[in-house]
Amino acid sequence: MKIDELDTNHEYKQEIENNIENCLTTTKLDFSSEYQGKVRDRFNLGDSFAFVTTDRQSAFDRILAAIPFKGQVLNQTAEWWFMKTNHIIENHILAVPDPNVTIAMKATPFPIEFVVRGYITGTSNTSLWTQYQDGKRKYCGINFPDGLTKNSRLKQPVITPTTKEEKHDRPISPKEIIEEKWMSKEHWEIASEKALQLFKFGQLTASENGLVLVDTKYEMGLNENGNIIALDELHTPDSSRYWIDEGLEKRISNGLEPQNIDKEFLRIWFKNNCNPYDDKTLPSAPRELVVELSLRYIFLYEKITGRKFVFENCENINGRIDENLRFYLNSTKTTTS
């Protein structure tokens, strides 16, 4: 599969290749492990959680590959966005003691993912384009007109929620969310409005930096005071789809895929080379695609935040995290005593 190389920092390429075997795929810490997600592992610190963002790359409800420095990019990108959106909604971040770790307040998550879309696109079974191409014109309670084409912009952003279930997420309408008691009407109305506000802010910020925020997912929940807060991650290349703005319309009009910074090209490779939903064993992701995805994640971090990416020591990531966590906890005890 040939993909267009982005104008990324190619001097980073050697650093990534040197560390392609040093990815954080299994978290081994001397703390109480509570939950292992597709990408994030959660540890119970008593009055808070430590979320460790790994380098595992997920799609199609399974792990596809390990991407060097990905966990660091996701964690630090999310931190930046959370800080920038505090005026819209409170979030769960308490501290970031390590490039891969977020200390977060405990909260009760809503069992719903708030998926906001500004374009009709995607390759997964639940993507809006896949559903539309299969003939569906009503999706998550929203009526879509005939004549839409792949990668075209919607008249306005829409929310297509999904349930958070053990096997597969299920698309659901706001009416069903309330009737099936996934959320109260009040909580849904507040959270969905916050999701649209976050997306609007994200699109504006991305546009100012030459990018297009295409779609994303938000997770929210209730803190100990019963207030709705943002959880998990925010506008990262794992939870969001980003395109390069320059030349976008020309590429789409010529029938070409947009230049993307997210994991879409890796999804496409697996769709073209296996059945990622049903095959028991998947082929290994090509080395060049792994390196390219790492480059794109770092490119996005620098493009959005305006900061230069700092390559942290990843020869023993678990050891580094353990040391930084202990230092954070000791300093917290000293401050409070």
Summarize pLDDT for 283-318 with one digit per residue, the tens: 999 999 999 999 999 999 999 999 999 999 888 999
User: Is the residue at 26 inside a domain?
Assistant: yes
Summarize pLDDT for 173-218 with one digit per residue, the tens: 999 999 999 999 999 999 999 999 999 999 999 999 999 999 999 9
- Residue 333: beta bridge partners? none
Q: What angle do CA 329, 66, 212 make, to 5 degrees?
A: 90
CA-closest candidate to residue 121, choices 27, 32, 34, 215: 215
DSSP per position, 249-312: HHHHHTTPPPPBSSTHHHHHHHHHHS-TTT-SSPPPPPHHHHHHHHHHHHHHHHHHH-PPP---
pLDDT of residue 42: 95
User: Is the residue at 3 inside a domain?
Assistant: no
DSSP per position, 159-199: E--EE--SS---B--HHHHHHTTSS-HHHHHHHHHHHHHHH
Contacts of residue 262, Cβ cutoff 8 Å, sequence gap at least 6: 237, 238, 240, 241, 242, 296
User: Is the residue at 132 inside a domain?
Assistant: yes
CATH number at residue 82: 3.30.470.20
Which positions of the chain have pLDDT values less than 70?
1-10, 166-167, 334-337
User: Is the residue at 320 inside a domain?
Assistant: yes
Distance (Å, whole) CA 212 – CA 146? 24
User: Is the residue at 1 inside a domain?
Assistant: no
User: Is the residue at 314 inside a domain?
Assistant: yes
User: Is the residue at 169 inside a domain?
Assistant: yes
Distance (Å, whole) CA 32 – CA 45? 7
The count of domains in the chain is 1
User: Is the residue at 264 inside a domain?
Assistant: yes
For residue 94, give its domain range.
10-336
- Residue 65: beta bridge partners? 57
Phi, psi values for residue 225, rounded to 5°: -90, 0
